[in-house]
Amino acid sequence: MEREKALAIVEKQLKKKRYEHTVRVMETAIKLAEHYGADVKKAEQAAIFHDYAKYRDVEEMRRWVISENLPQDLLEYGDELLHGPVGSFMIEREVGIKDAEIQSAVYYHTTGKRHMSLLDKIIYIADYIEPGRKTPGVEDIRAIVYDDIDQACWMAAQHTVLFLMEHEQPVYPDTFQLYNERLMLKK
Ligand SMILES: Nc1ncnc2c1ncn2[C@@H]1O[C@H](COP(=O)(O)OP(=O)(O)O)[C@@H](O)[C@H]1O
């Protein structure tokens, strides 16, 4: 889909600040895709649609988890985790984006997982480091992301796990698995 058309579609779904974040994620993802030789157009589209479901009604998203037979444990870790997985299905149904690679990147953008594709990694880390993010430690990740995207994703997962633990929040296991992957002997 043409970039301007895709942006106009998500703009209607998002608040102004979130839309501006989306544009910055898109710019960051395109740079990373060019650098790492990924499909630049898919990176653009996945970034544009990554937060498509962010402001959808929580009950509606919970119903999608059930009706699409997504992992039911998504319902137990807080509502913030729903918009990626549910969004990956909504963009197919509502916008006609039927592309497994793009949908996977949208699905996993908040938690990450082990065995991510290059596109999954690009969207996961672009969301974390886009220039508007002020998260402590984000500068360290920006400094190495063009040298080692796996290390960058690992650092983001580590920061996220530590942050959630400090706040006594539950940690969805996919993020632990992304963290563990780099440290385990058998990968
Ligand atoms: N593994 C996880 N388990 C539980 N919550 C998580 C996990 N990973 C991220 N989160 C939380 O989900 C929220 C949204 O994450 P974020 O990636 O910043 O979303 P967005 O891209 O929509 O801004 C954050 O509050 C973050 O702490």
* Domain CATH for 96: 1.10.3210.10
Question: How confident is the model over 121-172, as pLDDT tens digits?
Answer: 999 999 999 999 999 999 999 999 999 999 999 999 999 999 999 999 999 9
ipTM: 0.91
Predicted confidence at residue 18, as pLDDT, reads 98
Residue 46 and residue 123 in contact, taking contact as beta carbons nearer than 8 Å: yes
- Ligand 1 atom closest to the Cα of residue 21 is 23
Question: How confident is the model over 2-31, as pLDDT tens digits?
Answer: 999 999 999 999 999 999 999 999 999 999
Predicted confidence at residue 187, as pLDDT, reads 63
* Within a domain: 157: no
* Within a domain: 130: yes
What is the amino acid identity at position 20?
E
84 Cβ partners below 8 Å, 6+ apart? Answer: 50, 53, 106, 107, 108, 109, 110, 111
* Within a domain: 25: yes
* Within a domain: 54: yes
Question: How confident is the model over 90-106, as pLDDT tens digits?
Answer: 999 999 999 999 999 99
Pocket perturbation via mutation, ligand 1, pick of 20, 22, 160 by most ligand atoms within 8 A of CB? 160
* Within a domain: 153: no
What rounded mean pLDDT belongs to the chain? 97
* Within a domain: 35: yes
71 Cβ partners below 8 Å, 6+ apart? Answer: 65, 85
Nearest-CA residue for atom 16 of ligand 1: 110
How many domains would you assign to the chain?
1
* Within a domain: 154: no
Confidence of residue 186 (pLDDT cuts 50, 70, 90): low
Global confidence as pTM: 0.96
Q: How far is the CA of 24 from the centre of ligand 1 (A)?
A: 18
* Within a domain: 142: no
Radius of gyration of the chain (CA): 16
Predicted confidence at residue 153, as pLDDT, reads 98
What domain range is 113 assigned to?
3-134
Nearest-CA residue for atom 13 of ligand 1: 80
